[in-house]
Structure 1
């Protein structure tokens, strides 16, 4: 009589967390984004006149220095302290989550998100009119739609990557949703 193999449960295999490497990747990407964001903001403050648009690609892309007291698209103007609290919560959640990552793609994604959040959080802490109420420096003008900065670009790219990773079923631990069902 042939031996029967034990049945395996219908669950996706659990990937081993990358551990410190995941956290280090998140922190390195975040540091690069934050430094790049702050350097470009310093350049914009030194080189651009407030409100004066300099075309880069005709009317589609330009440079225009503004101080943004709100969130994206100047939403929540006058609620800067709330945006500061939200940014701090994002920073804490990303750092806590990064300790358990098993996916390099998620490490890159969370690093971009963390760097963008920290870049704009620095502005909220150190720029006028004062701590927790500081206005974010924006200078990249996208047509007549909105004006942003490097931190904003990192946040938008992170959101796009997160959507792709979720759509592909890639979990934070590096495993894939439904991988066991596909193998069966």
Structure 2
């Protein structure tokens, strides 16, 4: 049996992240019906805290009105460029990173377009991590780590071609 080719792997990962992100957000909104700025302590170091994030990852660069649409257009453009890059790659680590970032970007884009804000809820502030985030944010961060790993692992190959 052939292994899944890297572009397909990245696409499947992106789809899985989008689905997981939206399912967890629906559970937060309609399952446990967590109100805005309310907190449910799950563990001594981890809580669920509902936040309406009008910015980008981890609540940076808050934007309303036209800013919402500018952030949405930017996210869509980045996702499209990364998808184009994904179609070209033959490296699994790169495909994994791109799939995670694409899935996370689209997951948050869905919120921003449909609600006007992104739903964030994972809260590790008791561990001195001040940001509240979601599945999509985590996927983007992990995806960037895989992109950096791919760069480090393949840097010699890139330099030889230049």
TM-score band, normalised by shorter chain = 0.7 to 0.9
Q: Quote the RMSD (CA, aligned, Å).
A: 2.0
Residue in structure 2 matching 1:77, options 62, 71, 84 = 62
Q: How many residues align?
A: 150
Q: Deviations over 1:64-121 (max 9, x none)?
A: 1111111123222122222111111111101111121010111111000100000000
Q: Deviations over 1:120-141 (max 9, x none)?
A: 00011111xxxxxx10011111
- Measured in 2, the distance between the counterparts of 1:177 and 1:64 equals 43
Q: Deviations over 1:133-172 (max 9, x none)?
A: x10011111216011100000000011111222222x26x
The question of 1:36 aligning with 2:20 is answered yes
Residue in structure 2 matching 1:64, options 43, 49, 52 = 49
2:120 corresponds in structure 1 to 138
Q: How big is the shift at 1:61?
A: 1.6
Runs of 4+ off more than 4 Å: none
1:23 corresponds in structure 2 to 7
- Measured in 1, the distance between the counterparts of 2:6 and 2:159 equals 23
- Measured in 2, the distance between the counterparts of 1:92 and 1:72 equals 18
Please give the TM-score of this superposition, normalised by the length of structure 1: 0.75
SS at match of 2:123: strand
The question of 1:155 aligning with 2:140 is answered yes
Q: Gaps spanning 5+ residues in structure 1: where?
A: 1-19, 128-133
2:113 corresponds in structure 1 to 125
Rg: which structure is higher?
1
Bigger share in helix: 2
Q: How big is the shift at 1:178?
A: 5.0
Q: Is the 8 A contact 1:54 1:64 kept in 2?
A: yes
- Measured in 2, the distance between the counterparts of 1:73 and 1:31 equals 22
Q: Deviations over 1:30-80 (max 9, x none)?
A: 00000000000000112122211112221x321011111111232221222
Q: Is the 8 A contact 2:46 2:125 kept in 1?
A: yes
